Amino acid sequence: MTYNVKNLPIAIIGAGPVGLSAAVNLIDMGLTPIVFESGSSVGSNLAKWGHVRMFSPWSYNMDPIAISLLKKTDWIEPVLSEFPTGQELLERYVIPLASHEAITPHLHLNTRVENVSRQYHDILRNEGRKNAPFVVRTSNSEGQSDILVQAVIDASGTYQTPNWLGAHGIPALGELAASQSIIYGVPDILGPARKQYAGRTVLVVGGGHSAFNALQDLVKLSEQSDGMRVLWGIRGSSVNNIVRSPENDELQERRRLEMHIQKLLDEGKIEVFTNIAIESINYENGKLILQNRSGQLPPVDQIIAATGFRPDLDVMSELRTSLDSATQSPAALGPLIDPNLHTCGSVPEHGATELSHPESGLYIVGIKSYGRAPTFLLRTGYKQVKSVASALAGKTESDVQTANACDLLSVNRNCSQ
């Protein structure tokens, strides 16, 4: 059977802020999206850090084209100068956008994308490849299905694939066995996770703002719970650059957090361990014993791994991707965002061209497009998908708007490692 590929929908993997923005932009271009979300509701990754307050105000965390769509309904626009939590962004923006009549028919919840390939083509076969539709293998409660689409936009994020604690980029010896005592990301320490940490010795590993959020909450809990110790392990040799944002930083919430952590350090409320490289984790007498390259760390009860995230690339294993060897981002984007070379403010403009792969019609966008680089900006994602939608609609290069990270503001967990 043959298909007119251009009559097929465009698959979007992930119904977070960037994935939904991709859907809105495709619809605006006269194209048809089909959105797959593995969670039971939209923004499932966002919900996992919903208690965290963002550094940037509402005005920087919503896509203008989505706002235009929502304003045609009874949606109540937030006060643009206020700073939302992740949960507030979810409830007041992401869910209303997903509930819009223009989006709802295209949205498939509880549907996991297991693989993406080309119809009748494995990764090796050339003949007819470019004109073959993509096959998206999905699974849900009713079983597996193969969906044919003309293009694929992967906006699935990275929050579900955190980096390991281990020093070598792989799990430390014993890390998997100790998983019940390790949380990856930023737990809600003052909320549902309170009992897990109250009165305990807790080690936070990581040098970015995610770690800062965990540390400030642990110290606050320790003031209400006797017997707590708050330990902080970092790879670096010192914590002299905690306040790293300029005094006139547009993200004053970020600078406020940095200054607060510096104050807690000055007050001796956080015990710091530098040059961390965890080789093994073992249980002894009900405690976790971590072997570091420079010796043993104090026994702890719980570990919070605020060590960043990595992309899950297995789903694309039958497609021809070109990835930067260091960042695991699209090859053309990698040199622009490599944290060894750049900061948030120095990332050049980029769009569909930099996000493309040898597999024509495949785009990885949002934070997943940055691979392991921690400098992604939410607004960058919105501009990325606008550029990609324009390219898929056949716009010329000069028509395609690119994403300039230099003048955009970040969500809390980005630009942070």
Delimit the domains of the chain by residue range.
5-160+309-407, 179-305
Separation CA 133–CA 119 (nearest Å): 6
Residue located via tokens 């547009």: 250
With contact defined as beta carbons under 8 Å apart, do 114 and 138 qualify?
Answer: yes
CA dist 363 and 355 (Å) reads 6
Tell me if 53 sits within 8 A of 186, measured CB to CB: no
> What are the residue ranges in the chain where pLDDT is below 70?
1-3, 342-347, 396-417
Q: Which pLDDT does position 413 carry in this prediction? A: 38
Residues 6+ apart with CB under 8 A from 142: none
What homologous superfamily does CATH list for 5-160+309-407? FAD/NAD(P)-binding domain (3.50.50.60)
> How many Å apart are CA 368 and CA 373, to the nearest integer?
9
292 touches 316 (CB < 8 A)? no
Residue (of 340, 414, 347) closest to 374 by Cα position: 414
What's the whole-model pTM score?
A: 0.92
* pLDDT value, residue 52: 95
Q: Rounded to an integer, what distance in angstroms lies between the CA atom of residue 89 and that of residue 55?
A: 12
The pLDDT score that the predictor gives to residue 68 is 96
Percentage of the chain modeled with pLDDT above 90 = 80
Residue 112 in contact with residue 138, Cβ under 8 Å? Answer: yes
User: How many other C-beta atoms are found inside a 10 Å radius of the C-beta of residue 402?
Assistant: 19
Of the chain, the end-to-end C-alpha distance in Å amounts to: 49
Say how far apart CA 379 and CA 384 lie, in whole Å. 9
The whole-number pLDDT of residue 406 equals 38
Which superfamily does CATH assign the domain made up of 179-305 to?
FAD/NAD(P)-binding domain (3.50.50.60)
Query: pLDDT at position 192, please?
Result: 97
Residue 398: predicted pLDDT:
54
Judge if 5-160+309-407 and 179-305 fold alike in CATH terms: yes
Sequence-distant (≥ 6) Cβ neighbours of residue 305 within 8 angstroms: 162, 163, 164, 165, 182, 183, 184, 185, 205, 206
With 0-12 / 13-18 / 19 or more C-beta atoms within 10 angstroms meaning exposed / middle / buried, residue 292 is middle
Q: With the C-alpha atoms ordered 405, 408, 414, 415, is the resulting torsion angle positive or negative?
A: positive
